[in-house]
Structure 1
Amino acid sequence: MNKFKIFSLALVASASVAKAQDINQAKKAIDAEQFDKAKSLLKSIIKAKPSDGEANFVLGNIYLNQAIVDSAKIYYLNGLEAADKKNLNYIGLGQLDLDAKNAASAKANFDLAAKDMKRKDVNEFIYIGRAYMNSTNPDYTNAIAILKRALLIEPQNATALLAIGDAYHGANNQNDAYKSYRDAFTADPTLLRAKMQLGVLLKGAKSYEEAIKAFNEVIALDANYGPVYRELAETYYKWARNKPSTQQVNYQKAISSYEKYLSLTDYSMDSRMRHADFLILVKDYKALETEANKMIELDKVNPRIYRYLGYSAYENGNVEVAIKSLENYVKVPTNKVIAKDYLYLGFAKIKKGTAADGVVDAAAFDAGLADIKKAVAMEPLAVEDLGDFGKELFTKKQYNQAAALYELSATNTESKNYLNDNVYYGISLYYANANKEKTAIDAAGLAKADAAFDRVLVASPTYDEAYLYKGRINNLLEKDDLIIKNYQEYINRTSAKGAEELAKPATVKKIVESYNSIGASYANTDKAKAIEYFNKTLVLDPTNAYAAQSVKALK
């Protein structure tokens, strides 16, 4: 009997170890961002032992991380019925409460999870800390507080040190984050994510070359650790964005690093979507279209694929597919629509409605502009993406349409394109009226153009061309005093630049325009002044017919 008991206990221990190994394998797969593999392992554990609360909890966390909330909740509730570690599932429900901005209910669930902890247990505290961080409404202060409780019990717990490093990182406390990551890797040299995070901190500090060295140290330890290649890809991308001279080389390195990352994951839909998001960042729309079509073969119902199809179709010149795909995406209330979705939908509708020959479909343009306004309402800095599209319309001499776009960005001082967009806004409104009959002039639009150049002069007081355009605008409005004031200011500022500037043919042409406009403005009130300015024109351009005829008429 004794032998049998020992043997029976050994079997129980073996079963427990096997189960733990399966859970650990799933956790390793999660760390490696092999989510389909992790799901498969966890579902096998649950099938073999439905009473396994931890497996339900970890599986619920994967679904929640992937924003599949209904599935996450199902597994958390199943886990609460389990006999083993069911308390962990209160943590999952607590994170759902945090996502719903119900902090009190979240705290109640976290308290239930921790209620029966043994004196030396720390895992519940680590999971609660992660829940505070992983919520769509992260609370790094509470995450740090709960993780400190874990470290009081077990100061060298590498998982807790890694977690508090992430919490400090989220709270922008990079010094404590660095120390925590370093201590985590010292405590467990197999914890590659902790060492990788040291490189992530360098990337965040824009020390791109140093970050790449740090990531290469991780690769030297394990060349098959997938997440480090994703971090490499993102570092090369950021380096390219911050130093345009490196863009061509670094974009290519970013793409090849991401391909390596993908090869080391399980090509799950989640991994493919992250890849698609990255292809948008590096503007590789041909590859995005290929990836989107692969995804739709694998999952014909996943709505986010319509986003990728829409973006790539627009960039690759197929506006009909872009409109259809993006309308299919944004019309579903449960889809997480972002500003860029409406931006692309608006661009596609406008492009369809503004032919190259100058013909504009007003209804199509208005529909597109309405979508772009939705994008700007969701994310005011979406206006930073309007400039190039506005210039495209401007180049096609669709000035009113260009102005309608630039109007959305002209007062957003936070936009990096604030100055340039105001210049184009003012110029677009000017040219929209420049060749109109007097009775058709849009005085209100020209007043907006004048105000745009006032904003330009506040943002850039040395932008002298603004006075030239203010003179032209007031010429159309027939405001003689403002014509004289602005053209004279342009002359004064340009003359102050010296003889070299005044000798340029383009400058001479603008000075002549200014003299003639001032002369014409004085013609009805001060003939002597008018003749003086027309004669100044004739000094610069003796063959100027308008000035010569005006002098003759005024004498």
Structure 2
Amino acid sequence: MNVKRKSMLITLILLAVGGVRAMAQDVQAAMKALDAERLAAARTMFTQLAASGSAENQFYLGYYYLRASTLDSSKREEWIGTAQAAFDKGVAADPKNVLNLVGQGGVLLAKGDLVGGKAKINQALEQTKSRDENAIWRSAEMYTLFEKGGKTDPAEAIRLIDLIGTLKRKTDRADYQIVKGDAYLIRNDGGPAVTAYEEALRLNTDNSNVAKIQTRIGRVFKRGKNYVETQKGFNNAILADSNFAPVYREYGELWLMAGSYARAAQNYKKYLEKGEGTPEDRLRYAKFAFLSRDYQSAVDQLDQVKDKLKDNDIQRMYGYSYVELNKPDLGVENLQQLLQALPDEKELPTDYGYLGRALVLTEGDSLTKIRNDSLGYFYLMKAAPLDTSNNFISYVADEKFKNKDYVGAAEAFRQSIIWKDAKFDEKPSPTDYLRLGQGYYFAYATTPKEQRDSTLLPKADSAFAKLIETAPTYVPGNLWRARTNLYMDPTGEREGASPYYLKYIEVATPDSVKYRKELIEGNKRLAFYAQLKKDNDKASGYFTRVLRLDPTDKDALDFFNPPAPPAPPAKPTTKPGAKPKPGAKPAPKKKPSA
């Protein structure tokens, strides 16, 4: 071979090697985008690679669509079909390239056909005599991809990864251990899963997969409810690659479990910003935003997915969010449509609870308002015993109290307390007993005297007594019990309100600025009791306190400086009924004025 021909051959070899390296780099970049769930970017790269027509690149395109189908259920069937077409094209282009046979097996697994999928994958492995580690790895991976909606075989995946270790010519790759960890995770076998992932970290010398692996480690610990290690894994993932979107989704779910809804929504929002975000992801974020009370963001996300998903939760979340945004008409519209379309077993108590709230909030003429309120209360009370999370009875009580239906409010407050008492994680608060007592109190106080129900006052007194027992230092308790006893002892002879006013003054005086008006009320009432007993010294002490709080108080000033008694009427010159003396001249008559 002459020098010129040898030089040309070397050049061609270098060009070929360079092309392979470039393609490998392109595949690696596309895989990284797919792992980070930047689906649009990954799709563009894989499609460009497949344009070359090579069988291997057809596999990667089909592989992309299989993976993407697990993330977006709205396109699942379409994308499984697209994957099938790519694999079929790859087989036609090069029947000896077994990766596309593996891909065809993956399609069957995605469709739920475990037997057919295994047969196709085994055909591929037999063709290579189970010596092609790349084919074995991808086969093992196929058995772990379709945990939702398809079929998996984690035991077979583990067997195949272990098989790679027996080959004479093999490469220790982090990717193999990632698949093995995924298989153990499917089996809920956390210890071996973490071991596999940690081995993947050791083998991952170029740090390309650290975020991916650490996110998986965090996920294992989350399943095991070891939340300290969970956060450690997620934080390590973010340190490795702050743009790795899936870790923010996982973090969002973690904060949701912890009941920290604002943090959950914040992380899920980052997930959508850094990844592409499927319609399901956006619906999920809408729920997170709703729980964090960011109702407008919830509606904004729903607007983006309403035409892409068929999910009852879309209309449900619209209804709930519009109620919270004080748009009750839209809330009623969405929730009524939802309940008309749902079978009974798919209805939720909160559907009726929010519909009830929406109806109560809806404006209208007086007759419409009465009808809506009545129907709204009905739905709220229907939801209440079935919902252990939302106290819809309390909402009914508050609305009735606001509308001055004090008897109805008191009954609802009573039922609300029973509802809370039945829960192991929540008990009635001091405010619950305060509102119950106030319902009975105002039901009595606002009724004309001749129509008052005397049984209401003992009920109010009992509620305030329970309040004081539950929270002795809760300031309003003794004040309202004192006011109730004023009605029960209207003449003051028994001084029924006295002990409660005394206790109120004791607990309220440290914050006399806040409770100034009520402290004046209490001291004046105690002064009145003292005056009834003609104990002016004691009355003087109470009125002195009043003047410290309000130097212009008329009752106190009048006590210390009584106004002069009115002058007696002037005595008439003639006694009533006396006759005039004889000869006396009558008084001259006044001339009428002009």
The TM-score with structure 2 as length reference comes to 0.56
SS for the counterpart of 2:347 is: coil
How far the C-alpha of 1:326 sits from its partner, in A, is: 0.6
Match of 1:471 in 2: 482
**Alpha carbons 1:185, 1:194 under 8 Å: kept:** yes
Match of 1:325 in 2: 334
Amino acid at match of 2:80: L
Matched ranges for 1:323-472 at <5 A: 323-331=332-340, 332-333=342-343, 336-352=346-362, 361-383=369-391, 399=406, 403=410, 406-411=413-418, 412-413=420-421, 414-415=425-426, 418-442=429-453, 448-472=459-483
How far the C-alpha of 1:345 sits from its partner, in A, is: 1.1
Pick from 498, 502, 509: which aligns with 1:491?
A: 502
SS for the counterpart of 2:389 is: helix
How far the C-alpha of 1:21 sits from its partner, in A, is: 6.4
Match of 2:574 in 1: none
Match of 1:226 in 2: 245
Pick from 274, 292, 296: which aligns with 2:302?
A: 292
**Alpha carbons 2:157, 2:183 under 8 Å: kept:** no
Change (3 A) 1:26 1:378: farther
Residues 39-69 of structure 1 show CA distances to partners (whole Å, capped at 9, x for unaligned) of 43323466889x978645534xxxxxxxxxx
2:277 is the alignment partner of 1:277: no
How far the C-alpha of 1:184 sits from its partner, in A, is: 3.7
Amino acid at match of 2:195: D
Match of 1:306 in 2: 315
Amino acid at match of 1:318: K
- The whole-number CA distance in structure 2 between the counterparts of 1:334 and 1:503 is 52
5+ long unaligned stretches in structure 1: 1-14, 60-75, 88-120, 135-145, 169-175, 521-526, 549-555
- The whole-number CA distance in structure 2 between the counterparts of 1:510 and 1:336 is 55
**Alpha carbons 2:508, 2:519 under 8 Å: kept:** no
How far the C-alpha of 1:407 sits from its partner, in A, is: 4.0
- The whole-number CA distance in structure 1 between the counterparts of 2:490 and 2:440 is 17
**Alpha carbons 2:481, 2:500 under 8 Å: kept:** no
Match of 1:186 in 2: 198
Amino acid at match of 1:226: A
2:55 is the alignment partner of 1:42: no
How far the C-alpha of 1:381 sits from its partner, in A, is: 2.5
The TM-score with structure 1 as length reference comes to 0.59
**Alpha carbons 1:192, 1:218 under 8 Å: kept:** yes
- The whole-number CA distance in structure 1 between the counterparts of 2:520 and 2:529 is 14
**Alpha carbons 1:393, 1:402 under 8 Å: kept:** yes
Question: Matched residue pairs, number?
Answer: 441
Matched ranges for 1:527-546 at <5 A: 528=533, 538=543, 540-541=545-546, 543-544=554-555
Amino acid at match of 1:419: P
How far the C-alpha of 1:388 sits from its partner, in A, is: 7.8
Amino acid at match of 2:197: F
**Alpha carbons 1:225, 1:264 under 8 Å: kept:** no
Pick from 46, 49, 67: which aligns with 1:28?
A: 67
**Alpha carbons 1:354, 1:360 under 8 Å: kept:** yes
SS for the counterpart of 1:297 is: coil
SS for the counterpart of 2:417 is: coil
Change (3 A) 1:289 1:458: same
**Alpha carbons 2:84, 2:104 under 8 Å: kept:** yes
- The whole-number CA distance in structure 1 between the counterparts of 2:140 and 2:514 is 79
Residues 457-481 of structure 1 show CA distances to partners (whole Å, capped at 9, x for unaligned) of 3432322421222233344455999
Change (3 A) 1:84 1:538: closer
Amino acid at match of 1:307: R
Amino acid at match of 1:457: I
How far the C-alpha of 1:349 sits from its partner, in A, is: 0.9
- The whole-number CA distance in structure 2 between the counterparts of 1:256 and 1:424 is 40
How far the C-alpha of 1:314 sits from its partner, in A, is: 1.9
**Alpha carbons 1:46, 1:52 under 8 Å: kept:** yes
Match of 1:264 in 2: 276
2:517 is the alignment partner of 1:506: yes
Amino acid at match of 1:309: Y
Matched ranges for 1:99-178 at <5 A: 158=178, 161-162=181-182, 177=190
Share of identical aligned residues, percent? 18
- The whole-number CA distance in structure 2 between the counterparts of 1:149 and 1:517 is 90
Residues 325-370 of structure 1 show CA distances to partners (whole Å, capped at 9, x for unaligned) of 1111123216733333222211111112699xx9994432232222
